[in-house]
Each structure stands twice: as C-alpha cells, then as structure tokens.
Amino acid sequence: MIHSFGSQPGWGAHLADELERIVALHDASTIAAVIVEPVAGSTGVLIPPQGYLQKLREICTKHGILLIFDEVIMAFGRVGKATASEYFGVTPDLITMAKAINNAAIPMGAVAASRTVHDTIVNAGAQGAIELFHGYTYSAHPAAVAAAIATLALYRSEGLFERAASLAPTFEAAAHSLRGTKHVKDIRNLGMIAGIELESREGAPGARAYEAFVKCFEAGVLVRFTGDILAFSPPLIINEEQIAHIFKTVGDVLATVQ
C-alpha cells in the first residue's frame, strides 16, 4: 500500500476513541496528560489519519486532560510551518521542542506553554514568588540561546519555512516515484519528511533496511533506518536536484538489495 497524509478519512476519530475507553476505564482524574508526536518520526514516519489529532484535542478538553505535542522532530519548518500544531490546526497545552530550534549546533530544548497553563501556575504560587519558576542548571545557556536566536533569524531572512512548503510537492513526488520498486511495501510522507517501508526478510526483521542504509551511505546518501523503514528528513536548504539524487540513489540501491 502507498499512503500519504489523509488517505483514510474517518479512521482518525475512530482511533482516538481508544482514549475515551482508557478514560472510562481509569477515570479522567487519574490521567495527567496525553503525550503524542503529531507525526511519529523515530517510529517510522507515521502520519496521523484525518481527524485524529483534532479528536484527541476534543477528548482532552472535555475531560480536563493536558494535551502535549512532542515536536522535537516536526517543529521549525519540517511541514512548512513553525510547528506541526500550526499545520494541523490543533493547539495543544504544551509543545516540547529541540533539534531545529538552533540547528542542533549546541544541545538545547524548550517547552511552549499555553496561556492557561502559564496563568494556572503563576496564580497558584505564593505571593511574591518568581513568575513561572522553573529551570535546571543549564537552562538558557548563553551559547545555546545565541545559536537559537541566529537560527531563528535565518529561518525568517531566508524564508526556509516557505521554501520547505514549496519543495514539499517535489519531495513527495520523488518519494512516491519508488512505488513498485523492489522490496517497497509502503511509502508515507508529509511536508519534508518521508518513510519508505520495506518488506522484511523472513526471520531477520530490520536486516534489509540496514543493508540498504549501508549501501546508500557508501553511495554518498545518508538515510535513517528504523526496523525495515528508511526515513528521510533532509535539511530545508536542499534543492530539487538533490532531492532527485537522493531517491534515485535509493532506487538503485534497492535493486541490488536481496
């Protein structure tokens, strides 16, 4: 099967109903938060079905449960917007971020909180307490923050979010050009991220993708593999010629993989 975002309308709401079952089983008062990647990256580029994230938001709001988006991978232009939250039109209560926040130049992470969460913490504190008091030894490390400021300025001055959005159709077409290629079981994509799932070898799951990963590397193309899934999330400065080169190389390699 070959999929891209939105291929199964109606399934998303049904899938999210599992959360209602869990709430009914354990009671909402025992559930602090629901944490989800808007697009699951490390598990193999799993695109949310239509309505799934929206339904999660509705259920969490209904039961007073926090909705947390893990956007360590998806934030800062990967889907042509600042966040996947913005892309999908779903506002969580908290967003965790890292990686592209400063181009991974220096380790850094951040959390964005909704006004409701912020005000709840501040108003519950003792009078005269530090506003939204939180932090760790290396919070707001000067070098990491400087890298973040510089990176965010480049995103804006070079229009990299818009560039990603404009390149997404080319990237999608290139990924899906491998339809019917030897061993390809499924292709998934959204914005500038894609996953190509390969048929597993009997008794050796993951071995085929690993062989493809090694051969791609030897051919000058670095991809990521998870199980039998090849994952692609190129830098936002990539051009159309480089996109074509990546997927042609992958196709050539798959023709040689046993």
Taking only the tens of pLDDT, the chain with its 258 residues reads 333 334 455 666 778 888 999 999 999 999 999 999 999 988 889 999 999 999 999 999 999 999 999 999 999 999 999 999 999 999 999 999 999 999 999 999 999 999 999 888 888 777 666 677 777 788 889 999 999 999 999 999 999 999 999 999 999 999 999 999 999 999 999 999 999 999 999 999 999 999 999 999 999 999 999 999 999 999 999 999 999 999 999 999 999 999
Residues 145 and 165 in one domain: no
Question: What is d(CA 213, CA 28) in angstroms, rounded to the nearest whole number?
Answer: 44
Both 23 and 63 in one domain: the answer is yes
Tokens of 7: 């291929």
173, 246: one domain: yes
Residue 107's identity, in one-letter code, is: P
pLDDT score for 4: 37
The CA distance from 222 to 245, in Å, is: 12
Question: Are 92 and 172 contained in the same domain?
Answer: no
> Where is 156: in which H helix or E strand?
helix 142-157
Residues near 41 by Cβ (< 8 Å), separated by ≥ 6?
73, 74, 193, 231, 233
- Looking at residue 10, its pLDDT comes to 61
Residue 6 placed within a domain: no
Long-range (24+ apart) CB contacts under 8 A made by 111-119 are: 117/66, 117/93
Same domain, 183 and 141: no
Q: How far is Cα 253 from Cα 237, in angstroms, rounded to an integer?
A: 25
Q: Is residue 44 part of a domain?
A: yes
| Tally of domains within the chain | 2
Taking alpha carbons only, the member of 56, 6, 2 closest to residue 34 is 56
Q: Give the pLDDT score at 135.
A: 73
Q: What average pLDDT is seen over the chain?
A: 91
Assess whether 146 and 165 both reside in one domain.
no
- Which CATH number fits the domain that encloses residue 26? 3.40.640.10
pLDDT tens readout for residues 7-44: 455 666 778 888 999 999 999 999 999 999 999 988 88
Beta strand pairing call for 224-226 and 110-113 = unpaired
Q: What is the CATH number of the domain that holds 212?
A: 3.90.1150.10
Q: Which residues contact 195 (CB under 8 A, 6 or more apart)?
A: 44, 45, 46, 186, 187, 188, 189, 229, 230, 231, 232
Please tell me the number of Cα atoms within 13 Å of 144 on its side-chain side: 14
The tokens of 207 are what? Answer: 């071995």
Judge if 164 and 140 occupy the same domain: no
Q: Check whether residue 131 and residue 43 sit in a common domain.
A: yes
For tokens 């400087």, what's the residue?
146
In a domain, 1, yes or no: no
User: Which tokens sit at 238?
Assistant: 């990539």
∠ CA 50-39-86, rounded to 5°: 75
Q: So what's the pLDDT on residue 186?
A: 97
The domain in which residue 16 lies consists of 11-157
Residues 93 and 213 in one domain: no
Q: What is the pLDDT of residue 128?
A: 60
Question: Is 2 among the domain residues?
Answer: no
Span between the terminal Cα atoms of the chain, in Å: 21
Instruction: Verify that 137 and 26 share a domain, yes or no.
Output: yes
